[in-house]
Structure 1
Amino acid sequence: MAPILGSHSEIPRAIRSIARRAITQAGPEVARLAARHALQPRGLSVNSTQKTTLGVIIGYTVAIALLWNLPYVRWSLWPFKMLVIAFHEFGHAITACCTGGRVKSISLDPREGGVTHMQGGISAITLPAGYLGSSLIGALLIMCGFNIVASKVASIVLGVCFLLTLWWARKDWLTIGTIIAAVGLLIACWFIKHAEPLRFVVLFIGVMSSLYSVWDICDDLILRKVNESDASVFAKRYGGSSQCWGVIWSIISLFFMVGGILAGIAAFPEDWQEQEDDSKKFIPT
């Protein structure tokens, strides 16, 4: 959804402090896991554990595609749609902050919509950042979904993002409820079998976020041709057609998803037992 201009509320210092601590603690562990095998020259081979993960990704893709379009049962995806819409709006908000803009609020709509109220920023970056930002988040979550410890780190980073989103959406109860439910699910998974289920939840959210961007662009601009969208606003300001920009953003989103899968295969070749042993050492539960 295209961002709307508005006033600004400062992000509290406490949230910034929490974000810095989380990144400081999680960053070295991600680097260690990624570097463990990256420093050793090898081909991009796929072991049995990774084959299982790839099978789960394919299963998620098929299930999401079916549930997305089947009457009645499609509502089973509604909570996750709300979550990835929050990612979409977070993409607008964080790029606005990074380009000198100011965020007033974020809100979600029960009819699967969302809006970011903000002022300033570079619109050439903030407008596509909703779709491309949520796709990039999805790709990173897919990569982390190949490893338990990486999924733990991803959930910590997600928690920081959720804190920021909660601050911007502090007057919108649907957004607050969606985020609290997501945080509760992530926390619960930490305490089951050394957080092994966590990586499948992270993987599902990643696949959902990647596919949502592609499907929402196609649904809004190609199938239903909705007049007002991020792409239509972008086309009015910078030329071209909304359909053209939608196709370009969809292709980039798919590249992000494929990149996330390849990065996961390259960075995390550990088998189930190695992952579980690593998980016992990293914030054990």
Structure 2
Amino acid sequence: MKTASGAQLDMGRLVLLLAMLGVGWYFWYSPVFWPLKLLVVMMHESGHALATLLVGGSVDRIHLAANESGECLSRLPPGVFRQIAVYSGGYLGSAIAGAGLLLATFRFQLRRWVLGAACVWLVVMGVMYAGDGFTLAFCVGTAVVLGLCAKWLPDGAVDFLNLFIAAFTALYAVFDLRDDLWNSAVRSRSDAALLSDITYIPAIAWAGLWTLLAVGLLAVAAWWSMHARPRHLQMPPMSARARRA
């Protein structure tokens, strides 16, 4: 299948992505994946932090907990739209991170740059905003591990690691919405409930909107990632008369 630009579906990428999603799904509750889950929680809280800064607020601190929960404490200027942006920044932020990782890994093949950017992000967030020793230790420790992987792993292993992090992040973003927003007991304490209090729009409506946006964004990113552009543009052959001229 080709797109209008001539990009063609890469079956190898598609099979690999589906296999990694399947592994993540099947072993979802394995303790081996705990660091990756906490990494995505950090993406969620970073989404809140970035949205806060973009609307003119300030971030006090970020907390991560070993039970895979987190919180971002910030100060906002008055305004309902600012609150909507910040409360929406968590779930949509993790979906954007998953989409960006899929594109950077599959389509642009940035390899070690992906791990390097993750290291910088974790160190900056940990040093500037970590509100406790556990959060700081996780951010710096994970950055060190990813940095060592970027430096010492062979190219093939770096590609595999990037692909798995991208697939797992996308999967977690969807599961995060499912568990936190579509479970009524959890939803009553979620960002959707906070928005419901200030907008009078039911929390379930915010849950539906965020789910549609997140799934749509991840689907578009996956589509682009699975379609490789032609590697070389070939000029049409010149006629003998054109060469003589």
- Give structure 1 stretches of 5+ with no counterpart: 1-40, 271-285
Deviations 1:137-186 (A, max 9, x none): 11010111216751333233323321321123444232223223432332
Output the TM-score relative to the length of structure 2. 0.81
Shift of 1:116: 0.5
Corresponding residue of 1:59: 19
Partner Cα distance (1:101, 1:267) in 2: 40
Distance in structure 1 (CA, Å) of the matches to 2:157 and 2:229: 17
Letter in 1 for 2:89: A
Contact 1:210/1:253 (CA < 8 Å) preserved in 2?
Answer: no
Alignment partner of 1:263 out of 224, 227, 240: 224
Equivalent residue in structure 1 for 2:113, among 153, 157, 177: 153
C-alpha separation between the residues in 2 aligned to 1:140 and 1:95? 17
> Could you tell me whether the CA contact under 8 Å between 1:103 and 1:118 is conserved in 2?
yes
2:51 counterpart residue number: 95
Match of 1:245 in 2: 206
**Aligned-CA RMSD value:** 2.2
- Provide the rounded CA distance (Å) in 2 between the counterparts of 1:140 and 1:123: 24
Percent sequence identity is 24
Q: Structure 2: which 5+ residue stretches go unaligned?
A: 232-245
Secondary structure in structure 2 of the residue aligned to 1:43:
coil
What is the DSSP-based 3-state SS (H/G/I as helix, E as strand, rest coil) of the residue aligned with 1:150? coil
TM-score by length of 1: 0.70
Counterpart Cα distance in 2 of 1:45 and 1:155? 27
CA spacing shift, 1:192–1:213, aligned 2, 3 Å: closer
> 1:38-62: per-residue Cα shift (whole Å, max 9, x none)?
xxx742312xxx4222222111212
Deviation at 1:252, TM superposition (A): 1.3
Q: Does residue 37 of structure 2 align to residue 81 of structure 1?
A: yes
DSSP 3-state at the match of 1:100: coil
Contact 1:104 1:117 in 2 (8 A): yes
What are the superposed Cα offsets for residues 64-118 of structure 1, whole Å, 9 maximum, x if unpaired?
Answer: 22222xxxx5322211110000000000001111110000111101111000010
Give the 5 Å matches for 1:112-131: 112-120=68-76, 122-131=82-91
* Length, aligned pairs only: 222
d(CA) in 2 for partners of 1:116, 1:269: 43
Query: Cα distance, 1:197 vs. partner?
Result: 2.0
The yes-or-no answer on 1:105 pairing with 2:61 is: yes
